[in-house]
């Protein structure tokens, strides 16, 4: 005896719907009543016993609730720039990473006398995975080329090394939040220690705050200070100069001050 056409049609429709749900990732059926999984008895996992019983020494691991301490531990274990790059790329506690295309680590000569510390990647930097490659970055290159410094230079005395406080682009190019800066600061400090530049140049409010705790780049610019045991020169961000052409004269004075310091 055959199956009635309407029943067969309903059966094929139900099968097609089931196949669609499986493809979409459904892995269980909704029950008739709610199920509280917290009330399910979970049998504790029994430790495996080997022929030789070895007592493991207690290990102190920072809680995820303290991401700064965890970041510091991860950063301190990096002994090379390659290891630091890998550590930052694998660090998942900063929410900015989830919305970024690339981890923007650094660019330039790691033997450079001058390290430039910026704020965070923009859209162009996020796409290319390198810091300062957009309009602001092109202006930065021209500015430092005017005093004989370049990220492409193989000579440490005339080379630049460029990185940012944040390796991931904040959504909408917003300013990084204090908690985000604090979380990534251990990586910044380790980065600077590994490069060991002669001079640090911070461009913008975020790196100024990160390394000195001070705010107000327009007041601080051009005034030499110290951070991490090194001379530090605050400068306005090239993006600010693109919007405020009259500020370029002050930026030129800062560049001449840097040139004199290096000599």
CATH 3.40.470.10, applies to 67-262 = yes
Say how many C-beta atoms besides its own lie within 10 A of residue 254's C-beta.
Answer: 20
pLDDT for residue 26: 53
Helices 81-90/178-195 angle, 10° precision: 160
pLDDT for residue 54: 39
DSSP 8-class letter at 157 = G
pLDDT for residue 11: 61
Contacts of 224 (CB under 8 A, 6+ apart): 231, 232, 233, 257, 261
Helix locations, 30-151, DSSP H: 67-76, 81-90, 123-128, 135-145
- pLDDT tens per residue, range 110-141: 999 999 999 999 999 999 999 999 999 999 99
Strands 230-235 and 225-227 turn out to be antiparallel
Tell me if 236 sits within 8 A of 174, measured CB to CB: no
| Burial grade of 231 (CB within 10 A; 0-12, 13-18, 19 or more) | middle
Residues of the chain with pLDDT under 50: 42-62
Structure tokens at 17: 């719907």
Strands of the sheet containing 114-118, edge to edge, are 106-108, 160-164, 114-118, 199-203, 230-235, 225-227
């Amino acid at each position: 005896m055959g199956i009635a056409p309407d029943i067969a049609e309903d059966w094929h429709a139900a099968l097609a719907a089931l196949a669609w749900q499986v493809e979409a990732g459904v892995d269980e059926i909704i029950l008739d009543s709610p199920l509280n999984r917290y009330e399910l008895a979970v049998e504790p996992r029994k430790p495996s016993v080997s022929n030789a019983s070895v007592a493991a020494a207690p290990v102190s691991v920072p809680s995820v609730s303290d991401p700064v301490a965890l970041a510091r531990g991860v950063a301190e274990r990096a002994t090379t720039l390659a290891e630091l790059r890998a550590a930052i790329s694998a660090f998942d506690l900063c929410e900015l990473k989830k919305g970024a295309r690339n981890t923007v680590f650094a660019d330039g000569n790691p033997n450079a006398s001058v390290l430039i510390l910026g704020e965070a990647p923009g859209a162009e930097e996020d796409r290319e995975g390198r810091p300062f490659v957009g309009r602001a970055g092109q202006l930065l290159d021209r500015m430092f080329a005017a005093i004989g410094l370049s990220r492409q230079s193989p000579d440490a005395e005339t080379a630049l090394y460029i990185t940012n406080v944040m390796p991931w682009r904040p959504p909408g190019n917003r300013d990084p939040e204090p908690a985000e800066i604090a979380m990534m600061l251990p990586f910044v400090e380790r980065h600077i220690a590994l490069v060991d530049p002669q001079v640090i140049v911070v461009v913008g409010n975020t790196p100024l705050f990160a390394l000195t705790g001070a705010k107000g780049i327009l007041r601080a610019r051009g005034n030499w200070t110290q951070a991490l045991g090194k001379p530090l020169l605050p400068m306005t961000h090239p993006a600010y100069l693109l919007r405020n052409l009259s500020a370029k004269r002050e930026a030129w004075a800062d560049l001449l001050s840097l040139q004199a310091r290096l000599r």
